[in-house]
Structures are given as structure tokens and as C-alpha cells.
Structure 1
Amino acid sequence: MERMGPPLPALIDTGRASAVTLSVPGPAQNKFSSPAIRHPPSAVRPITAAAAAAAAAAAAALCHRQYSINIQQAFPSHQKSYLGNYSAFSLLTHLQSSLSLVQQDNSPPSSTASPVDAFALARDATHLIRAHATKVSLLLTNAPSQQKQPPAALSAVVADLIEGPVPALASAAQGCDPLWCGVVLRRELALLAGRVLAGLAGLLRFVSGAASLDDDNQSSVQATAILWSACDALIQMTSSAPAGFFVAKARQSEELLKDVADELREWGQQEPDYEDVYDDDDDDEDDDQSFSDDDDDDDDDDDSSPSAQSLIDHLLSPQPIPTDDPSQIRPRLATTLRLLRLATLLLGAAHRRRLPDIHVPGCDPDSPLPTRLDALARVLDGLPERFEDLAAALYALRPVDVDDALRRCVRDARHAADLLADDWDGAPDRFTLLVDRFRQEVKLPEPEASKAADTSAAPSQG
């Protein structure tokens, strides 16, 4: 990448005062303000105001090959003065704090003249962060053992990181508009971007100690691997979002529901065996009465008595359904397995035929799609938890709790079907017919009390 802005000595100054204070200048402290943070002189890389302007221009050049980005909207003029007082570590710390606030804030970013393609900007910036981090790792590994200052090549790579891709990545996450992709996707982008910045900060901690890294090469390699993993996750998400994000969620929920169904099916096939329990108690009493000091007898007793682990497993494992089934658990288990099968079929069809067609509507405040995507993400995350609660009620053999959990599962499954019924433009299609059949098959179970009341009232009416 071509150098932009002032030369390296103006960007990296390792001989400044004893410490550098992180503070947010400006007429008023905003919500991103943080207490003063001090770093040793060997770890600081102050950035001038001119370097901040160069960072803005570099960030635009990174992504201009595919998208036209207005750099003034990515880096407002008041933010340029902020960057001028930050070192490399303090800048990363501040940006991570800002992204953590993005994950908690539902308010949209400040209005801009034209929308920013946040996914494209984040993807290109992450590619460059990964490439530059690889250079840093190689230079750290091959750094001279007696050198007191970081090599010039290493300092240049760090300067390139701070000038361009790092602020570009933070701007992508902060500038992602919920009206464009929804709150859930914005939070996911901020979360993954924060992990990339945290991984980069972990790698840059080794830059100031390049003179003594002979014994710590393995640690720098581990830090590089952590950063690579974070970069790959963000690149995969931004390359396939929004469709790929929801396809992955639907597949994960489908697999979890299949696991719940397999466990319940295996539990339902278990038969209560009381004879083994009584036999074990009798064996324990016989062992206590025939206790002797003979080693052979002790070995025989150990072989015949149950182990401690088997007793723990027996106590913690769910009890099988009784043979007489006084609580009518087996009919409820059959209803649960049927509902699980229908829900997995719906999710499987959705991630193959509905979710891959998701598209972003742009910054249209009247579009219902972002709200629909947020609701869909919540129901996809919550559906496995609902069925896990239902399974826990079945294991406990509590029919009232089972009925309540069944109703909640049916409501969530029908809600997911409603969100998936029409296409992303709001029109019915062939997939809508499949959803209609699902609605016909999935019905709320009637309470046992109402059934009993109807049964008792029937003879009196006759």
C-alpha cells in the first residue's frame, strides 16, 4: 500500500514523555469518553492530526475499488481531532469501548448524505488487518535479539494499520444503520469487529518487547492465531450477510432441535427396571455381612458392587416413565416428538428455500424488513431453549409443566412460521403453501382441566 500523509518519524515517536494520557478532546465529553489510561513510553505510537486525515484518506482508498465511500461521513471532522491524541494501544482500547456501546445501543447512527455499505467496508478493512498482522508476526519472529527499538519495517507496518484499516473497521460497525439491516446484524458486526481489535491489541503488545522475544515467539504465534480466527469469522459474516447470517442461525437451531428429539426418543424407549435396584441393595447388604480381611474376598466384593460413578449416573439421569404412566407422560411425549419433527422440517426448508433470498432494503425508514429480521433472529435463538424447557418438564414427570411448555413451544413455532410465510417483499409464493400446511398441523394442546370439565358436563346435558 502506498504511503500517505507525513513520513514515519511524524507518525511514530517512541521518545515522548514518560507516559501518554488517553483523553477525548472537544467541547463536551460524549458517551465514548473514558478515564485516563497510561502506557509506558516503549508501547506508545502517537498519531498526529495529519495522520488522522491520512487515516481517513487511506480508509476510503481501501474500499473504493468496489464501493464509493464518502470519507467525510466515515470520519467526521470532530473525530479527526480525537484521533490526533491517541496512541496505537489507546486507540484500540477506545474503539473497543465504542463498539461495546454499539452492541447495547439501539439508536441509529447520525444521518449521512449517503448510506455506507458497512459490510463491504468491514470486510475490506479486515482483509488488510489480517495481511498486516501476518507481516507483524513474521517481523516479530525474525527480530534481532539485541535490538533495543522495534525495527523500522515493524514500525511502518504498525503505522499502516493505525492509519487505515483499524479506523475503517470501527467506522463500519458504528456507521451500520439499523434501518438498513436491523439491530441484530448491527450488534453482530460490532461484536465481531471488537474481537478483531482485541486480537490486534494482543498482538501489538509484543511490538514494544521485540528485543526480548526469543523466548516468547510461541506467545506471539498464539496471538496471531487468535487474530486470524477473529478476522476469518468477521470476513465470513460480512461476505454472506444478511442471508448467510440467518441461514447459519436456522441450521444451528435445526441441529439443536434434532438433538433434543433424539434424547427424548431414547429416554422414551427406556423401561423401568426395579428388580436391578433391589438386587443391588441386597448385594450391598450381603457384602457388608460377609466383609473380611481376605484380599480375594475384597476383590470379589468390588467387582460385584456398583461403582461410585454408576451410582452418580443413576441418581442424575432422568427416571424412565413408569409402566402404569399415571401422569399420562407418554401421550405428551408423542406430541412433543411430533412437534419437534414439524419444527425441524420447517427450519430445514427455510434455510434452503427462504432465507438465502434475504436482501437489505436500504435506508428506508418505512421498510418492515429490518424489524422482521430482528424478530426472526430472536425466535430462531429462543426456539431451542423452549424445547429444552419442555424436555426438562418431561424428565421431571410433571404434566402441568409439560402442558404449559408445550403451549409456549407451539406459539413460538407458529410465530416463526408467520415470519417465514411471505417472501422478503411481502408477497406469497410457493413456500407460503408449505407454511400453511405447517400451521394446519401445529395446534395448541387443550388443557387437561378443560377436557375433564367437558367430559363431566356432557352427561348432564344429555
Structure 2
Amino acid sequence: MAPKPASLRALLDITSTTLTLLTHFQSSLSPASTTDASIPPPPNPLQALKACTALLKSHTTTLSLLLLTPPLTPSAIITKIGDVSSGPLTGLVGAAVAEGGLGGLMQGEVKVQVRRLLGAWGEVVGCVARLAEKRKKLEESDGAAKAKGKDVGLTEGERQDVLAATGVVWEACDALVKLCDGGIAGLVVRKAEEWRSVLLDAVEELKEWGEDVDEEDDEAEGSDGEFGDEDEMFGAANKLGKGDKELKEVLDKGVKKLKMVGVLYQALIKRRLKTFPGSAPAGAANGEAQKDPMATLEELMKLMKSIPEQVDDLASAFYDLDEDEAKTMLDKCCGEAKSAASLVKQSWTGTDDEFTAWSTKWEDALNAP
């Protein structure tokens, strides 16, 4: 006797189970979650992620075709959903939560991308559940035999829902593949360029704020009456005046030094981030073991991220006309920039190179009064 075909009830059960599993997976990938030391990372985590992503995209395409082509076939759909849960989804989450192999920054980005992909896949499963529920109600009202004759496929709205959900999965898959193709170096370069842009925008704002002094003071001298205009009346507390010469000198000095920090970011991106090896070297030229490049990279990225944030505090000190705080924050920003340069003064293999010599000259220029 041939096996009884899978029922719509069984299909609804697996969609419910899968959605519960996705919720669990997404929780394990939340920012508050930690890496799982019990899960060993695959030999090449990024290649494993790419392979799982390609498989998931393929399964999603097949499932979409099954949903769009009548009649609805519970057995084939159940098999496809089960294959996805036990295969690519488990592989993706395992690679994302395994301890080691990717570094903190890359692993954090992978978790974000995988969570997005899980959410997109959940929408596809949701489409399956809605279609199965609709079909089940039709059978309950008309009987299975009569309902079979009415199975003419999806409405236009349902077709669009399936296509849209499938498209979101494809986009999420493509984004994850792009992240993997770029590798750790690609990610850190992109992050560093974003932080450099934020830094230079803040410097430009400070520069423009300082350049407004003379013009605004001249206008103030020519104003009549007890009160000036609204901007003058309410903005005077955080605008430089001609009497704030010492603070203006600190500002000019700060703008100059912060522009040099921006130049350092360019050099770090070109000479260190783009050349990141992705794995620990066997040793330096003198045969001594070197510090793990991944740990050094993580420390460098923390410094590069923190400097633009501190420039915001520096700007606040200037806007508050707090000279002492401005000097303190400027020293802190410059100190962290020097720490970043010093951290990777030598190449990833522990040898001197063009950046080594350049960074020494750069620091001397930054230290100049």
C-alpha cells in the first residue's frame, strides 16, 4: 500500500514548529547573547556561511515555485522546509555563534546579517502557513474531493506576497554573501571609512563655527537697541567672541591636529586594514611568535571607533566655551590616535615598512605646538 500523502495539518504543524525554531535561533543571535564555546568554528567560517547561504537561496527559490504552481503539495513543501531547518539554517546559526574564527567585529556583523536572513525566511514560512490554512478551511467546508477541483492556485495578492517574501530572502542572502566575499578586511575598511567621514564632518563643523566669529562680532557692533536679533540673543552663550582669543587658539590648533588624525585614518586603511592577513603569522623575521593579528585588529578598531565619539565631546566643550575641557578632550583624542598608530607601527608580520617610518614623522608633526 502506498504511503498516505502528507496532510495540510502536518504542513501547518511544521510551519508552527519552524517559526518557533526561528525565534529561538534569533534569540541566540541577539546583541546581548554571547558566543558559544561548545560549538567549534568551522575550518573556514566565511566559506561555510557562503555555502549555507547559497543552499538556502536555492531552497527558497524551489519552495516559491511550489507555492506559486497549483495544486498545493503538502508533502513536497514539508520536505523542503525540513531540509532548510536541518541544513542551511542550522549551519548559518552554528557558524555565527561559534567562538573564535571571525573576530568580534566580523562576528557581530555576521550575527546581524544572519538574524535578518532568519526573519526573511520566517516571512516565507508565514506565507506557507497562510496558504495551508486557507486550503484547509476550503476542504473542511466543501470536502476534499470538491476542494481539489477548486484548487486553481493563488490570488494575485497571494502571489505578490510569496514573490515579495522570496525577494527579501534573496536580498538578505546576497548581502551576507557580499559580506563574506569582502572578508574581515573588507568590513574593517568600510567601518573605518565611515568613522573617518564622521570625524572629518565634525572637524569641518568646528572650523565653520570658529570662522563665524569675526563676521558675527562685526554685525553685533552695528546693531541698534537693547536687544539684537533672535540668534544673537539666544545663541550668544555658545558663540566665540573677539575676547575669547585663547579659546580660539585652542580651536585652531585642535582643527589642525584633528585633520592630521583624519590623514592617519587614510594611512591606516591603506597600509594596515586593507593588508590584514586574516590569520596569525607563523612568526616574525627574527623567528619570535607574534601577537595574534585578530586581537590587534580588534584593539585598533576600538580606538578608531572611539576617536570620532570623543570629538563630539570635544565639540561640546568648545560650544560651552569651556577651554580647560576642550584642551583635555583634544589631548585625549590625540593620545588615542597616537596609540592607534603605535599599535600597528610594524606590519602584520612584525617587520618595519613604509608605514613604520611615516607614522614616526606623523607623530612628530602631531606633537608639534
Using the size of structure 2 for normalisation, the TM-score is 0.77
The equivalences for 1:375-454 within 5 A come to: 375-443=299-367
CA 337–9 in structure 1, closer or farther in 2 if over 3 Å, else same = farther
What's the counterpart of residue 320 of structure 1?
239
- Residue 267 of structure 2: SS of its match in structure 1? helix
Aligned length: 336
What's the counterpart of residue 196 of structure 1?
117
Using the size of structure 1 for normalisation, the TM-score is 0.63
* Correspondence 1:265 to 2:265: no
1:225-262 deviations in Å (ceiling 9; x for gaps): 54344333322221122111111121111111121122
* Correspondence 1:344 to 2:262: yes
The equivalences for 1:300-319 within 5 A come to: 315=234, 319=238
Using the alignment, how far apart are the partners of 2:28 and 2:232 within structure 1?
Answer: 47
Task: Name the Cα RMSD after superposition.
Answer: 3.6
1:352-404 deviations in Å (ceiling 9; x for gaps): 22211112226999852222121122112211101111112112211111011
The equivalences for 1:51-62 within 5 A come to: none
CA 161–277 in structure 1, closer or farther in 2 if over 3 Å, else same = farther
Check whether the contact 2:96–2:110 (CA below 8 A) recurs between aligned residues.
yes
What's the counterpart of residue 175 of structure 2?
233
The structure that is helix-richer by fraction is 2
Check whether the contact 1:43–1:89 (CA below 8 A) recurs between aligned residues.
no
Check whether the contact 1:121–1:168 (CA below 8 A) recurs between aligned residues.
yes
1:197-251 deviations in Å (ceiling 9; x for gaps): 1221123211111257643555555544543443333222211221111111211
Check whether the contact 1:13–1:45 (CA below 8 A) recurs between aligned residues.
no
The residue type paired with residue 259 of structure 2 is R
1:267-324 deviations in Å (ceiling 9; x for gaps): 1221323268756958xxxxxxxxxxxxxxxxxxxxxxx9xxxx58985798432122
CA 279–431 in structure 1, closer or farther in 2 if over 3 Å, else same = same
Using the alignment, how far apart are the partners of 1:124 and 1:367 within structure 2?
Answer: 31
What's the counterpart of residue 108 of structure 2?
187
Residue 122 of structure 1, aligned match among 25, 39, 49: 49
The residue type paired with residue 255 of structure 2 is L
Check whether the contact 2:261–2:334 (CA below 8 A) recurs between aligned residues.
no
1:150-206 deviations in Å (ceiling 9; x for gaps): 66655454343224211111121123x42x342332232223212211221123211
What's the counterpart of residue 14 of structure 2?
44
CA 118–382 in structure 1, closer or farther in 2 if over 3 Å, else same = same
Residue identity over aligned pairs, in percent, reads: 25
Using the alignment, how far apart are the partners of 2:26 and 2:93 within structure 1?
Answer: 8
The residue type paired with residue 401 of structure 1 is E
Using the alignment, how far apart are the partners of 2:160 and 2:231 within structure 1?
Answer: 41
Using the alignment, how far apart are the partners of 2:261 and 2:38 within structure 1?
Answer: 37
Residue 165 of structure 1, aligned match among 66, 79, 88: 88
Residue ranges of structure 1 left out of the alignment (5+ in a row): 1-7, 17-40, 47-86, 283-305, 446-462
* Correspondence 1:355 to 2:273: yes
Using the alignment, how far apart are the partners of 2:279 and 2:247 within structure 1?
Answer: 48
The residue type paired with residue 53 of structure 2 is T
The residue type paired with residue 15 of structure 1 is R
Check whether the contact 1:361–1:367 (CA below 8 A) recurs between aligned residues.
no
Report the alpha carbon displacement of residue 119 of structure 1 after superposing the two structures with TM: 0.9
* Correspondence 1:372 to 2:296: yes
Higher relative contact order (CA 8 A, sep 6+): 2
Using the alignment, how far apart are the partners of 1:392 and 1:381 within structure 2?
Answer: 18
Using the alignment, how far apart are the partners of 1:268 and 1:222 within structure 2?
Answer: 51
Check whether the contact 1:195–1:230 (CA below 8 A) recurs between aligned residues.
yes
The residue type paired with residue 320 of structure 1 is K
What's the counterpart of residue 274 of structure 1?
220
* Correspondence 1:209 to 2:138: no
Residue ranges of structure 2 left out of the alignment (5+ in a row): 135-153, 283-288
Using the alignment, how far apart are the partners of 2:266 and 2:343 within structure 1?
Answer: 15
